[in-house]
């Protein structure tokens, strides 16, 4: 049986954007670091144990059909995955690395949910070993 963790994220919009610092590298780096630290804490609080391999999916639920570029969500997915495989003190290392050998990261998705508030959710599922 595959283990699954669904983690509601504390942001209603992507915290890390391609133009998020508007050219200010320090502002962008701070957003990345804060996002990564938050994910490490959320993963630790979810009691996710070390996994051999996992799948990490980012979903952004939105209440309207305003055009949003899913490519921009990848900028948020990166620090989230780094926090699940990193070696910084705030990371929660559930896999040895965030390379395809240990972590499958499909493109994030945007899901239309009329009448519901915006919400970002990260789903982590264990990929069973083939042995």
In this predicted model, what pLDDT tens digit does every residue of 100-126 receive, in sequence order? 999 999 999 999 999 999 999 999 999
pLDDT digits (tens, 9 = 90+) for 35-68: 999 999 999 999 999 999 999 999 999 999 999 9
Q: Which residues contact 108 (CB under 8 A, 6 or more apart)?
A: 57, 58, 59, 60, 70, 73, 74, 76, 77
Number of structural domains found in the chain: 1
Residue 36 main-chain phi, psi, to 5 deg: -65, -45
Q: Does the residue 34 lie in any domain? A: yes
Task: Name the residue range of residue 76's domain.
Answer: 4-126
Residue 131 included in any domain: no
Examine the pLDDT at 131 and tell me if it is beyond 60. no
Residue 67 lies in a domain: yes
Give Cβ neighbours of residue 96 (< 8 Å, ≥ 6 apart).
85, 102
Residue 70 domain-assigned?
A: yes
Question: Is pLDDT of 21 > 70?
Answer: no
């Amino acid at each position: 049986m595959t283990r699954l963790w669904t983690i509601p994220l504390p942001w209603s919009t992507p915290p890390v954007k391609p133009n998020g610092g508007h050219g200010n590298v320090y502002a962008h780096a701070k957003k990345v670091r804060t996002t990564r630290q938050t994910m490490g804490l959320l993963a630790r609080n979810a009691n996710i144990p070390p996994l051999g391999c996992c799948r990490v999916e980012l979903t952004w639920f939105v209440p309207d059909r305003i055009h949003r570029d899913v490519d921009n969500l990848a900028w948020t997915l990166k620090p989230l995955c780094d926090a699940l495989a990193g070696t910084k003190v705030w990371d929660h290392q559930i896999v040895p690395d965030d390379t395809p050998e240990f972590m499958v990261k499909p493109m994030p998705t945007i899901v239309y949910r009329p009448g519901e508030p915006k919400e970002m959710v990260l789903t982590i599922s264990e990929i069973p070993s083939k042995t």
